């Protein structure tokens, strides 16, 4: 029943249904999260015997004074701010175009979706060639406009830009598909009503398409923000296992990876993870708050 009051019995029944999933979630999601939270407070830790002799805030103090971590936070923020808006705008624009053309639209959809089903390593290999300073396609094209060859992957100035361009491109496929679904769900009758009410194409876009698409835009941007904060494999693959020239593409997760796997500083790695967690939480909460006022379901 739709308006049934929860009782002890119905709650117990619901729990029973949820049990299998709960067991899996608790073991593989909840427990590690709690564990890594606790780990970020380990200050003296014997890894081999799993003995913690002291807890404290030393890991966080270290992070706040570590210039590498500062770089990582800054780069992460630049990456998020660069990737998310571009992804939203470009994929919306492409989706609008694809929605208009009927000719070969199936082919175009497939083409745009390909990056999503291709492995990041393979994509990075392709972009490696595109970015190649001597033979790369990108410099070749820029040459037409009189731009001198840029060493995209070797110069600290351009490495972040190269990373952002590749990531946006990789994100497009899936987000275009999401936007296409959203566009298809907008009933033609709203456009008809808008035309009758005197709305030209632009006003139809701003008064019908944008508001009615806002749930998808919200989904795409939240998804994009979370994914971008966690960026790692693109960097690893594009810069051959380094955080870019002179740490120009060092992000928080890359920092975490270095601390954990190469320096074996588990406490610091966990602490940086906790900082990342709160950054994502903060931004997502802001997005949620914003969506309450501007997203129309």
Partner 1 sequence: MEVTFKDVSLSYDGSREILHHLNFTIPEGTLVSILGPSGCGKSTTLMMISGLLAPTSGQIFFGDEDVTKQDALQRKVGMVFQNYALYPHLNVLDNIMFPLKMAKVPKPERKKKAIELAKLVHIEDQLDKKPGSLSGGQQQRVAIARALAKEPSLLLLDEPLSNLDARLRIEMRQEIRRIQQETGVTTIFVTHDQDEALHISDHIMVLNSGQIQQFSSAETLYDNPSNLFVAQFIGEPVINTLDIADFGDELKGQIDTELLKRTQKVGIRPEALQDHDTGAETLATITTKVKTFEKFGREKNALLDFNGKRLLTTEIEAEIAEGQELPLYLQKSGFYLFDQDGTRIFGGDQDA
**Residue carrying the six token digits 């830009």:** 161
Contact pattern for partner 1 over residues 216 through 255, marking x by CB under 8 A: ----------------------------------------
Q: Which stretch binds partner 1 (CB under 8 A): 28-36, 89-97, 163-171, 204-212?
A: 204-212
Q: Does 3 bind partner 1 (CB under 8 A)?
A: no
Q: Which pair of structure tokens corresponds to residue 173?
A: 């496929």
Q: Does 5 bind partner 1 (CB under 8 A)?
A: no
How many Å apart are CA 190 and CA 109, to the nearest integer?
A: 25
How many Å apart are CA 57 and CA 60, to the nearest integer?
A: 6
Q: Does 18 bind partner 1 (CB under 8 A)?
A: no
For residues 253 and 276, the answer to whether their CB atoms sit within 8 Å is yes
Considering the complex, what minimum distance in angstroms separates the CB of residue 261 from partner 1? 48
In this structure, the number of other CB atoms found within 10 A of the CB of residue 101 comes to 9
For residues 252 and 73, the answer to whether their CB atoms sit within 8 Å is yes
Q: Does 203 bind partner 1 (CB under 8 A)?
A: yes
How many Å apart are CA 229 and CA 232, to the nearest integer?
A: 9
Residues 198, 202, 241, 292: which binds partner 1 (CB under 8 A)?
A: 198
Q: Does 208 bind partner 1 (CB under 8 A)?
A: yes
Q: Does 196 bind partner 1 (CB under 8 A)?
A: yes
Q: How many residues bind partner 1 (CB under 8 A)?
A: 19
- Whichever of 171 and 209 has its CB closer to partner 1, that residue is 209
Q: Which stretch binds partner 1 (CB under 8 A): 66-74, 199-207, 217-225, 276-284?
A: 199-207
**Residue carrying the six token digits 């497939």:** 110
- Whichever of 197 and 263 has its CB closer to partner 1, that residue is 197
Residue 38: half-sphere exposure toward Cβ, Cα within 13 Å: 9
Residues 116, 190, 205, 232: which binds partner 1 (CB under 8 A)?
A: 190
Residues 200, 202, 241, 261: which binds partner 1 (CB under 8 A)?
A: 200
108 contacts: CB under 8 Å, gap ≥ 6: 98, 101
How many Å apart are CA 14 and CA 280, to the nearest integer?
A: 31
Considering the complex, what minimum distance in angstroms separates the CB of residue 187 from partner 1? 8
For residues 181 and 216, the answer to whether their CB atoms sit within 8 Å is yes
Our measurement of the distance from residue 285's CA atom to the centroid of its chain's CA atoms, rounded to an integer in Å, reads 16
Residues 35, 197, 263, 286: which binds partner 1 (CB under 8 A)?
A: 197
- Any bridge partners for residue 86, and if so which? none
Considering the complex, what minimum distance in angstroms separates the CB of residue 221 from partner 1? 18
Contact pattern for partner 1 over residues 158 through 187, marking x by CB under 8 A: -----------------------------x
Q: Does 207 bind partner 1 (CB under 8 A)?
A: yes
For the chain, helix (H) and strand (E) counts, in that order, are 14, 2
């Amino acid at each position: 029943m739709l308006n049934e009051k929860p009782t002890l019995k119905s709650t117990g029944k619901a729990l029973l249904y949820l049990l299998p999933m709960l067991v899996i979630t608790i073991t593989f999601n909840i427990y590690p999260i709690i564990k890594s939270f606790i780990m970020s407070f380990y200050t003296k830790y014997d890894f081999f015997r799993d003995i913690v002799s002291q807890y404290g805030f030393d890991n966080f103090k270290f992070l706040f004074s570590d210039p590498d971590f500062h770089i990582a936070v800054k780069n992460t923020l630049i990456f998020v701010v660069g990737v998310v808006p571009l992804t939203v705008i470009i994929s919306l624009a492409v989706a609008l175009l694809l929605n208009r053309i009927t000719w070969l639209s199936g082919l175009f959809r497939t083409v745009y979706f390909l990056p999503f089903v291709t492995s990041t390593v393979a994509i990075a290999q392709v972009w490696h060639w595109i970015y190649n300073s001597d033979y790369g396609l990108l410099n070749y094209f820029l040459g037409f406009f009189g731009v001198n060859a840029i060493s995209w992957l070797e110069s600290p100035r351009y490495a972040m830009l190269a990373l952002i361009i590749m990531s946006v491109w990789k994100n497009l496929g899936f987000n275009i598909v999401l936007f296409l679904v959203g566009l298809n769900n907008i009933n033609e009758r709203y456009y008809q009503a808008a035309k009758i009410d005197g709305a030209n194409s632009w006003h139809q876009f701003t008064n019908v398409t944008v508001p009615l698409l806002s749930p998808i835009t919200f989904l795409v941007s939240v998804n994009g923000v979370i994914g971008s904060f966690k960026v790692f494999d693109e960097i690893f693959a594009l810069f051959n296992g380094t955080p870019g020239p002179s740490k120009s593409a060092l992000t928080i997760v890359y920092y975490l990876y270095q601390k954990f796997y190469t320096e074996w500083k588990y406490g610091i790695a966990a602490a940086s993870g906790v900082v990342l967690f709160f950054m994502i939480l903060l931004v997502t909460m802001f997005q949620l708050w914003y969506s309450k006022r501007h997203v129309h379901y």
